[in-house]
Structure 1
Amino acid sequence: MRTLLYARFSSHLQNSKSIADQVALLTARCEREGWQIVDIYTDHAISGAAGIDEGQRPGLAALLDRLSRRDIDQVFAESTDRLARHEGDAFTIRERIAFFGARLYTANDGEVDDIKGTIKGLFDSRFRKELGAKVKRGQHGTVSDGRAPAGKAYGYAIANRLTPDGKLLRGLRTIDPDQAVIVRRIFSEYAAGISPRAIAHRLNNQGITGPSGGHWRSSTIAGDRQRQNGMLQNELYRGVLVFNRTSKLRDPVTRKTLIKPNPESLWQRHDVPELRIISDDLWAAVQAKRQRYATHTPQDARRPKRPLSGLTVCGTCGGAWIVLNRNYTGCGSRKDGSTCDNSARVRIDRLEARVLGGLEEQLLQPELVSAFVAEFHRERATLLKAATRQRSGMESELKKVETQIARLVEAIMDPELDLAEVRDRLTAAKARQLELRQTLSAIEDPRVVTLHPNLAEDYRKRWANLRSAMATQEGLTEIVPHLRAMIDRITISPPAEPKGEAQIEIVGKLAEILGFATGKPIQDECTIAVERVRGIEPL
């Protein structure tokens, strides 16, 4: 029996040896049964609820792709929870395995059919949620004992020890004398009126290593006001251990983990006077200074959002290129205290003018348009060919998903069910329904890109109208989203010659540019990398 092996470990539950242990167990079973191992796929330190796409779980995605050759008899894993800890993913994985003519087999449960798979999928998902709740509860107990639930703040050293019965007592901390001096210095200098950026510069220039072993950054010192992190907001330095400031949420579509600040009423505080580094007076002075700096001037409150905000990066260090003051932009990492060598500064109006000029004159060259259109058609044909082969399977899955949605809608009215869980499953099912409908629609309607001979002239006329609209605040607000959609990245590098202008490279999204020129959007999932083209310098 031709077999694919799959093993996974989560960084929250196991260590890296778990992969080798799982593979050894599966291999031994295959040898006893006489099963032929065709290939082995693994995912390291990835949650079983992370998703099944290549960017989420590359090992599992590669396994499912290998099945498409239809020459595999079974997928073999230690247990169903190695494949998924999410009901929707578990269902999709089983369905795809069956679609390609293979079976799912686990060392713990044998062959996994629809009934067994559904039950196991629900239990695997519930275990993940219950485990998270138990971990949170355990952390609350840890804080109540005066121990840190996770992490080690700058200024402290780990002081874990064995209990009389031989168990390791974790979460104990002690003050690091050398780092404590730096902590007091940072608080004292800030209270004296020195900015976090200037403090970071001083520490870096003196060769003092930052908390992560690298350079100091102003964000490390000041932190984020909403999430209440950063050294100047860490109450542990005044002898108070704070827990539950944030919660982790998982986006049901992207599966990315998001950090949500909790209301201060949910925070848990515990006095740990033995870990105090600064006095209450110094803490109060720093918080008063922070509160005073938090007030924005009327000019700042009225300042419109810049059209290029978030699109510009430093060509030397790759960091964000930010607004330094009312007139100039520069490397954010350099301003933040890092050792980036890019000292170039570009006037805001000059930067916007050069980027707009590049989009208007240089990113619609005939050879770029021809290359894009040819690649667009080639890539789309490849994807549609693959999708057509899977059409019947997608139509079958769409019917099941629609049936699932109908049942979930009815389940919302059941007072005994967990409404939040039903809502999450309904959201995921609707997202899958939309994805399937869009794919099937694309198979029915293969898109062809045709361009008018006067495309370049039409493009420049539209640009003239765009520039006129940008002259007013109302027009600027309306036009900015369209402008930003045409830009993938703007890289700013030091001048090629002394006293010259900074070098600016524009990476544009040609699909969006063509859509703007024709008035008909052609943005498509097929144009992920093909659409990006580079501007020519100097502008």
Structure 2
Amino acid sequence: MTSTNARRAAIYTRISLDASGDGLGVTRQEEDARAIVSSRGWEVAGVWSDNSISASDARKVRPGYDALVKAYDAGAFDALVCYDLDRLTRQPRQLEDWIDAAEASGLALVTTNGEADLTTDAGRLFARIKAAVARAEVERKSARQKRAEIQRARSGKAPVKGHRLTGYELGGRVIESEAAIVRRIFAEFLAGGAVHGIATRLETEGVPTRSGRRWNPATVTTILKNPRYVGRVVYDGQVLEGVVGQWEPIIDSADFDLVQAKFNDPARKALKVSTARKHLGSGLYRCAECGGPMKLKGGRSYQCLGHVSRLQAVVDDYVLEVIAERLRQADASELLAPEEADLEPLVAEAERLRSRIAVVDEEYMADLIDARLRRDKVARLQAELTELDGKLASHRTGSALGGVLASPDPAAAFLSSGLMAQRAIIDSLAEVRLHRGVKGRNVFDPESVSVIWRGTD
């Protein structure tokens, strides 16, 4: 029979890693703890457990431990049994909380390898030494792991622990299905796509993320800014200069640098408004009569005031199919013009101009120059930057086309690409001119849409 003065004992079990996933480790700890409770004539007030959860990091959530603390605060038990002190905690600060509890209310803390009496000086000294040794062991292990990670990074090897990068397995092997998504994101952004728009299209199309969560602008931005996609080694948030990654790059270095230049553009930071087009042919198609750009009016028709008005849906469908058919031809790979110019000097010059604009802004904020001088300086630098961006524009559209041509099925890749990439590819391959439709005819006439291939006589 249990004494009316018997303590109410809480049992806490934990192992850091349950490799088998069967929970037998915590089960054995509970069996040993129950034997201790029974031998002392106590009652089991409850069992709290954290299976395969480390206690080394105080920031890591341990649901069982947190529930144990709440139960004690609620007066649910006055004795605590665990396999060993380092199963309960490896944090000296957490241990002090239990010592305070023992001093204040006489909490009995028992381990299956002997009683740790926290109500005595000797017992508290033993517990503190035990916790300090456990903490030192954790810190030594962490230091060894950090040295190994640094050595691995300096040798150019891909990480083998932590969260894997979209497009790669841990260790650096390319996952082609995910790599295609990464290439698409870069191509669409270089073609003028907005980060928010790219994320929206991927989500709408049901394209899976690495984690299975929803696409959002932050996810797309993280991909666009990660240097590992071009074979650059990153450690502790910094690129290790002079170290070449021992894995296959997914993105071309010049394209990556262009993306970073766009992100660092002061004008982009100041004007956080998307300028991305929302319709395939708006501003891209031309009026066959005056040569002016066609604009979408009323949400249904491309119009050139006083000349041509054509239904958007049927024209877009026709243009997409004409371009796709061209990409199905055996000589489609020849559509990509060879790289003639070294883009690195252009990218570097663009970055220099953006840095100068940023300096001018800092001078203005520090009251070193007035508003008029700032405006004149920025206008001059911005004019140079605009001219430079024009020189880079052909490469940006070529990047979108190159990504499609690298696919096993270029036509399918084009048709599944985002809006901005499709616009860039159409613009790089052809000029689309819209003619007047025949009045009274409701049937679409392909002859009323001219697709004029670039580079042909």
TM-score by length of 2: 0.49
Higher relative contact order (CA 8 A, sep 6+): 2
- Mark the structure with the bigger radius of gyration: 2
TM-score (norm 1): 0.42
